[in-house]
Structure 1
Amino acid sequence: MFRAFSGLNGEDGGLMGETRVCIDATPLLLRSAGVKTYVYYWTEALRLEGGANSIELFPMLAPPGEVVHEQSVLNRPATMARLAWLHLANTLPVPLLNGVGAGVSVFHASHQLLRPPTNTRVTATIYDMTCWLVPQFHSPANVRMAKKFAASVMRRADGLIAISESTKNDAVRILKLDPRRVTVIYPGVAESFFCAQPLQRAKPYILFVGTIEPRKNVATLLDAYERLRPELREAFDLVLAGSPGWGDPSVLARIRQGIRGVDYLGYVPEERLPALTAGASVFVYPSVYEGFGLPVAQAMAAGIPVVTSAVSSLPEIAGAGAVAVDPGSPAELASAMAQLLESDSLRESLGANGRSIAQQYRWDCCARKSWELFRSLV
């Protein structure tokens, strides 16, 4: 159930036996990225699976399921005004959200922008530990914000959701958390990926989806593609889909100068991703570190064979649905790509494995486990 958010005075207390959860929805104000996608689909699944329980979003945007995924891109002035107001509110001596906390059972912190209330149960999602393990792949400001969020929220939260066992293990080790407070709940893959109709392009293609930033290791992917035999490069394009990110101008310059066979699409709207993914011959994701690796799970759900990195959460998430390689080796990556591109039967068997594994990444399952956590704290 979704209940309209009534304000900051906490006067409309919960119904008898009802668990009311307020979710920090500030990621929905950001340009499309992994955390935004997570919050977008998770809140709608929580509404559908909540039964007599209810959720509300702060800042109030619209009921889950009615929020437009691209709204922050389409209405940039209003989005920037909201973010500026939230930044200002975060400097207040008493958390702005204490008024919210008085009226809900649990407040869930989704992002490091807002300080959660101090007068209710608090949970938070741990997406990854990149700011500790690979800080060179973030701006100094992001690293500072992440560490401040860890100190003020993660260490005192009543319950934490980690999006993979790998992320949980990293967080427990680095932040010295009690592992009993951390519950692993895998995110889901949108249903549209499981039933996507393949995009038809003039030539078969290898696909990468992700922000063009150093952590995604696109430079190594370009090197690997250029190592392929000329016959393979002639037969298969390399398609890159994703917004320009922080700290990778040399890779973007290299792409924009033009590499034979490489097609950079830039940002691809959410509704076009399933068909683009389902049309690929091979999906390649050589990231240096991932908390979960949603694009890998999406490709597996579409039945597409995957080549990914043998690091962090990626072997856990992909399992037998991918060929795992050293992300620092263009030669190893090129060899794995060639192995799949040259064998229809191997692509078919790996794709079938991936589709089977991806069945565990469902938003309804994620929502049910999340409600179990919320109710256990009330």
Structure 2
Amino acid sequence: MKKILIDAVSLLSPLTGIGRYTYEVSSRLQKLSTDKYEIFFNYGYHSKELYGLSNNQSTAEQKAKKLQLFIKKFPFFKKISRYIYTYMARFYQTTYDLYFQPSFIPNLNIKTKKLICTVHDFSFKLQPQWHPKERIEYFNENFDLVKKADHIITGSNFTKQEIIDYMQMPQDKISVIYHGVNHGLYKLYPQNELQETKAKFSLPKKFLLFVGSIEPRKNLLTLLKAYNLLANDEKGELPLILVGFKGWENQEIMQEIEKNRDFIRYLGFVSDSELAHIYNLAAVFIYPSLYEGFGLPPLEAMACGTPVIVSDVASLPEVCGDAAFYVEPTDSIDIKNKILAIAKDEKLREELSQKSKAQAALFSWDKAAQEHLKVIESLLETRF
């Protein structure tokens, strides 16, 4: 039985984009390949246990997540830990048939016959100011290691073209595999099933929703500026609710939220089931991101039948199709006008809701995992 190693360090932190992708694909690859491949996960040590969403965490998972949480508090430790993690791989004796790095940069000290890397976007290159300094240093020093991959996976044709442009990689070494939606979770719920979540967070009857990390890349300052152009009675009719992991460089954003706490609330990081309920309860979802290699939250909102406003840039039009209301993300007046237009037009919201559900149905993690498995099989069938 051939051995596959999947890097899973992203599963030691709260699941944002890359962690979500890693978990959803890995959990399905485990089920799809039990009779053909033996799958291991790399957390700095190798294990057959997939960490992530279980409430019954093993002792090993609890310890690993506590250590990761401690390391992330200190940029110096985080930087050093990357190098320790890379170096320690030299001491593992197992040679894997395939090593899959779902988060950009592979560890070339891992002994493997074939290598797959996923490149999600080029924000580190195009907008380095959006990232912590230590991350940019690490990417600048190590990103070229991705070129060692036998194959590259990416989440959109938009990013595939960037890979070709910035890395000069041949097209036949790149596969576009769209991310998915967990349709068992992100779906329409009966109103009675939503009431506990609504009460827990004291959610208003009608509200505008943003979901994503609170950091510069998500363009929240422009969204807040646009929202503040609304009259107070308009804000009162459509309060703004923000949900997501507290990222970095967000002091100014948090100050703006605090100054407008009568109309704007930040709920922080919520559970997956709570998030699905909040999508259902929202009147409108807005995602004015400046740059995305894919963009999961709009698709999750669509699966819940929520009308969606998104930026008209990067991969977002490719993913959202004709099911979204588009804005120019640097134009606060355009954002304000689109918020008002959709908030006041029930017919438009219903039309977008129907289109949203149909668009989201095109994307699933099951399909994504099957496409990943095809890439893996094609490489493992190639003679070493």
TM-score (normalised: structure 2): 0.85
1:193 corresponds to 2:186: yes
2:49 to 63, 71, 83: 63
- How far apart in 2 are the matches of 1:218 and 1:322? 19
Which residue does 2:210 correspond to in 1? Answer: 208
* CA distance in 2 between partners of 1:292 and 1:150 (Å): 20
Counterpart of 2:98?
A: 106
Q: Give the direction of change, closer, same or farther, for the CA distance of 1:230–1:256 in structure 2 (3 Å limit).
A: closer
- Residue of 113, 125, 129 corresponding to 1:132: 125
Matched residue SS, 1:31: coil
For residues 294-326 of structure 1, the C-alpha deviation after alignment (integer angstroms, 9 at most, x for no partner) is 001101111111111011111111111111111
- Within 5 A, what are the aligned runs for 1:230-241? 230-241=232-243
Asked if structure 2 preserves the Cα contact closer than 8 Å seen for 1:25 and 1:57, the reply is: yes
Out of 137, 141, 144, the position equivalent to 2:137 is: 144
Aligned length: 357
Q: Residue 266 of structure 1 corresponds to which residue in structure 2?
A: 268
Equivalent pair of 1:61/1:67 in contact (CA under 8 Å)? no
- Aligned partner letter, 1:63: E
**Change over 3 Å in CA distance of 1:69–1:205 after alignment to 2:** farther
Which one is further off, 59-68 or 224-233? 59-68
- Could you say what secondary structure the match of 1:183 adopts? strand
Q: 1:110-149, CA deviations, whole angstroms, 9 ceiling, x for partnerless residues?
A: 2357614254200011111101111111122212222334
**Amino acid in structure 1 at the alignment position of 2:19:** K
Structure 1 contact 197–275 (Cα < 8 Å) conserved: no
Aligned-residue offset at 1:37:
1.1
| Distance in 2 (alpha carbons) for counterparts of 1:69 and 1:189 | 21
Amino acid at match of 1:68: S
Q: Quote how far apart the aligned CAs of 1:67 are.
A: 5.1
Contact 1:32 1:70 (C-alpha < 8 Å) held by counterparts: no
Contact residue 283 and residue 306 of structure 2 kept, 8 A: yes
Distance 2:63 2:356 in 1: 34
Distance change (3 Å), C-alpha of 1:254 and 1:160: same
CA distance in 2, matches of 1:70, 1:347: 40
1:82, distance to aligned residue in structure 2 (A): 8.7
**1:96 pairs with 2:98:** no
Partner in structure 1 of residue 114 of structure 2: 121
- The runs of 5 or more residues in structure 2 that have no matched partner are none
Distance 1:219 1:81 in 2: 29
Most deviating of 281-290 and 185-194? 185-194
Quote the residue 2:149 is aligned against.
157
5 Å matches for 1:1-378?
15=1, 19-50=2-33, 52-54=35-37, 55-59=39-43, 60=46, 63-64=49-50, 68=54, 76-80=65-69, 87-90=82-85, 92=87, 95-96=89-90, 99-100=93-94, 102=95, 104-111=96-103, 115-116=107-108, 117-152=110-145, 154-191=146-183, 192-197=185-190, 199=194, 200=198, 201-378=203-380
Amino acid at match of 2:28: A
Matched-pair contact (CA < 8 Å) for 1:303–1:352: yes
Alpha-carbon distance in 1 for matches of 2:332, 2:136: 29
Task: Note closer, same or farther for the CA distance 1:82–1:239 as it changes in structure 2 (3 Å cut).
Answer: closer
Alpha-carbon shift at residue 375 of structure 1 (Å): 0.5
Contact 1:23/1:57 (<8 A) preserved: yes
Secondary structure of the corresponding residue to residue 210 of structure 2: strand
Q: Using the TM superposition, give the Cα deviation of residue 270 of structure 1 relative to its aligned residue in structure 2, in angstroms.
A: 2.5
Deviation at 1:74, TM superposition (A): 9.5
Name the CA distance, whole Å, in 1 between partners of 2:67 and 2:327. 43
Q: Report the CA distance shift for 1:299/1:69 in structure 2 as closer, same or farther (over 3 A).
A: farther
Q: Whole-Å Cα distance in 2 between the matches of residues 329 and 34 of structure 1?
A: 26
How far residue 62 of structure 1 moved from its aligned partner, in angstroms, is: 5.7
- SS of the aligned residue for 1:239 comes to strand
How many Å separate the matches in 1 of 2:111 and 2:346?
57
Per-residue deviation, 1:262:
0.7
